[in-house]
Each structure stands twice: as structure tokens, then as C-alpha cells.
Chains A and B, each alone.
Chain A
Amino acid sequence: MILDEVKEKFIKGVMREGKRTDGRAFDEYRKISVDTEAFPNAEGGAWVKIGETQVAAGVKIDLSTPFPDQPDEGMLSVNAEFSPLAHPDFYPGPPKPESIELARVVDRGIRSAESIDLKKLFVKENKVLGVFIDLYVLNHSGNLIDAAALAAMAALNKARLPKIEDDKIVYGEYTGQLPIARSVVTTTFEKIEGQIILDANDHEEVASEARFTLGTGDGDKFASAQKSGNGGFTRGEFEYLLDTALEKGRELRKLV
């Protein structure tokens, strides 16, 4: 608590001088790497690093029963785990609002952009394929949402469709790629001392007054949005967020 207060004061002081503690420009991401060879057992997987932040995504595809209101469509489920090894403040136990929010924001982007062609996942009456995306936060050094969204998309683009025989999945055999219509990524902004920065690290997040995440997809459209944190954004700031998210989104989508 005391340490957080000291940290907050320091970060805000540096921001007031128009700088960031790690020397980055306000709209500059840390180095990003995407490894899609990481989990060969999963139908699709990705290990994403943004600076020191690390998030793994695994895609598993299984036979399941469709939702009653969408009997001819495959299922999508996104879950996030904030592993206790990722940060000293993360403890085992039921999901916290932060991990639910992260999973739901990533889910909304993929769903709204219709990234996965769910109609092609129909098997037969009352049987469809379910796509299960699990997001594992392995090291929390800030900006988990963007890292998770990037990992989810990279894993989906890599995912293979399992072979089905006699209404059962034949594990380890594949019939093709999971049909992906478009890629969607997120761009997350934090507001500190009235300044707006991209890709905040965990120290900057402690000092943040408000957050805005924008999901963007192919064709320069917005697929999801989530304002979080106690502070607000003016209309002028909102316009800046929209323009910047489109520009950065184009770059991020090249990585997946």
C-alpha cells in the first residue's frame, strides 16, 4: 500500500514532465514476440510476450452441444487464469473481477468481429464443435488485455480442426484449419495525470486513473470497447483513442 503510493507519486511526477519511466514515447509499445509453435498438443496455441508481460493461449476444440438459440452454430468459450506465479498479488482461488473482465473483453472482440465462422462448426443435429480458448497469464508486467487478445488471435489463426470419426474426436489427427474470417486485436490506453499512454507496464497501471480498451478488426472497424477504472475520458480524448487504436491495430494484426 505505502509502496504503491510512493510508486504512484514517482510515475505521476515523470509523466508531468512528458516522459515515461522506461523512456518510451506515450504511444510506443514494448517489444512484442509471438510464438505459435509453443503448444503442439493444443489445436492452436501461442505464447506472447509484450516486454516482460507473458501470456499463453491454448485453443482446444471439442464436440459439444450447441446453445438452444443457435442450434446450427459452433460454440466459443474464453476463460482467463491469473496464475499465482505471475505476480506477488495473485493468489489461487475463484476468478477475480479483473480476470473475468479480461476474458469477456477478449471474447466480445472475437465474437463481434465474427472472427471464427461458427456456422462451419456444425457437425450434426445437436452436435457442434466447441472452441475453447484458455488464456494463461504467466507474468504480469502490465497490459494483460492486449497480450491476451494477441495470444488468443495468434492461437486461433494457428488452430487445426480435429478429425471426427463415429461422432468422436480422433486426437492428434486433423482435417484442416479452423475457419477464421478476420483477425481482431485490442489496443489498451491508460490515463495518468491527464496524459494518455499505450501499453502501460504494471507500475504505470498502479498510477492509472482510467483505462480504455478498443478492439479493432480487418477493414478498420471496432469490434469491442471497454472503459475501466474510475476516471473518465472526454469526447476529444475518445476521438484520439479511436484514431490511435485503428493505427496501432493495423500494426498489431500483422503479428498474428
Chain B
Amino acid sequence: MTEKRELIRNGKRANGREDDELRPIKITVGVLDKAQGSCLLEWGKNMVLAGVYGPREVFPKRDVDARKAILVARYVMAPFSGVEGHGRAGPNRRSREISKVAGHVFENVVLTEKFPKTMIEVQMEVLQSDGGTRIAAITAGVLALADAGIPMKDLPCGSGVGTIDEDNKRMVLDLDKYEDNLGKSDIPTILSPRTGEILLYQMDGYLTKEQLLEGLDKVQSKAVPRLREEMARALKEKYGGMAENGGVEQ
């Protein structure tokens, strides 16, 4: 049973964060040997591992596209990932829907037309969950694609945004599990920083037009710059020395 908790205490978020403050984010790329690209991403208590295989031969064969690579995205939560009881292994309806919209984000930026008749797989495993796992998983997937050396137009990123107060008025960024479960609304949002376009947008709640625009602007102005910084840092950590090193990984 979901524990009854206050989300706001003395006018501030009970988890101690400012309204526009994201949780600590730690990103490491290239953590798996077999996958062409990989990323371990810790976002608050969320922990997601993403691995990329491909471009490689298409399976099943009937899915082959003569014009471009097909992109297969798979998001799954481990049965031990939540604070509640043992979950079910493998994909469910929720995770299948998330896999679909995650695939749209990757397809928007990957230059799939460079690899016709192939398949690029992005595997995302949620190992620990604390609210906002789809955003964390897609961020990890984007970085695993970059780590695999797959050409992309941009590094999409974003955050959840929603209302957690009883009046359904106050928009805060990056809702954790309790804020998501007990709050009034949540809008996972992913943007393309280069074009400003919305690539992922889903919503639960009952909000006005003004609130939706306020939420979008918060993600754009507060979450995206922070994520860009963290993502660049992770890639530089692994590849930063390459320029001085004649293009060879250190």
C-alpha cells in the first residue's frame, strides 16, 4: 500500500529540493564490453543501464527497410527495481508504450538513412526506480547511441514536470516516486535542444493551457541546460582526450 506522505512541508518540497531543482545525476558511458555503446545513469535513486547493438543484420528479416536502418527500442523494469513487492519480469503494457515513444525520440535524431537494411537496437534496463524512469532510460539510451559512435543530429534530453500541491497549481521539476504517485499531475517531456522541438510528451493530470506552457518552459530553461552539461561531461570523460591523442581512445 502506498504510504501516506506529505509532499509539501512548510511551503517547500518535502524532499528538500527547490521547485526547479533536479536530483543529482551521475552518468558513465562505456560500462559494458559486449555492447557497441553503453551508459550507466543514476538520477536520484533511479538507476538505468542502456546498451546499443548495431547497425547489424535485421531480425526478423521481414522488418528490413531498404531505405534506412530500423530502430528497435526496449524499455523494461527489473522485478526488483521498486520499493514495493516483487514485480513481473519482462515487458508489460506500460513498458511497451514507453518503448514505443522512446523509439520515436531516437529515430528523430539518429541518421538511420546512413545504414539501410540494418537494425539498431537500444536496450534499456531499469535496475532501480524512483519516479521519472522513462526520462532517465531515454537519456541513457541517447548516450549509449553516442558511445556506440552512431551519427546523431542532437542529444535529446528533458525531465518530468508536474503539480504536487493540493490546489493543483504549483509546477515543480523532476518528480520523484512519491511526488508522481501522490501528486496531481506529471508530464514527462523530452526536447531536442538544437531545434527546441518536443520529441516526447505524455501527461497525467487535469491542467490548464497556461500550466502546460509553464511546464514546457521550465523543462526548456532549467532541465535541458543542466542535462546538456551532465551529458557532455560524461562523453568528455571518456572521449575528451582523443583529440590530443591522435583520435585514439585513452
**Chain A residues close to B by CB (< 8 Å):** 1, 68-69, 95, 97-98, 100-101, 103-104, 108, 111-114, 212, 217, 220-235, 238-239, 242-243, 246
Contacts and interface: CB of A to CB of B under 8 A. Distances in A.
B101 A104 contact: no
B212 A242 contact: yes
Q: How large is the interface on B (under 10, 10 to 19, 20 to 34, 35 or more residues)?
A: 35 or more
Given A101-B97, A235-B196, A246 B202 contact: no
A225 B201 contact: yes
Contacts of A97: 96-97, 99-100
Given A69-B2, A242-B209, A232 B197 contact: yes
Contacts of A224: 203-204
B248 interface: no
Contacts, number: 103
Contacts of B203: 108, 112, 222, 224-226
Given A224-B203, A228-B101, A233 B209 contact: no
A230 B108 CA distance: 5
Nearest to B100: A97
A238 B198 contact: yes
18 contacts: A69-B2, A101-B100, A103-B93, A108-B203, A112-B185, A112-B204, A113-B206, A217-B206, A222-B203, A224-B204, A227-B104, A227-B198, A230-B104, A231-B197, A232-B108, A232-B199, A238-B212, A238-B213
A238 to B, nearest CB: 6
Contacts of A69: 1-2
Contacts of A229: 104
A223 to B, nearest CB: 6
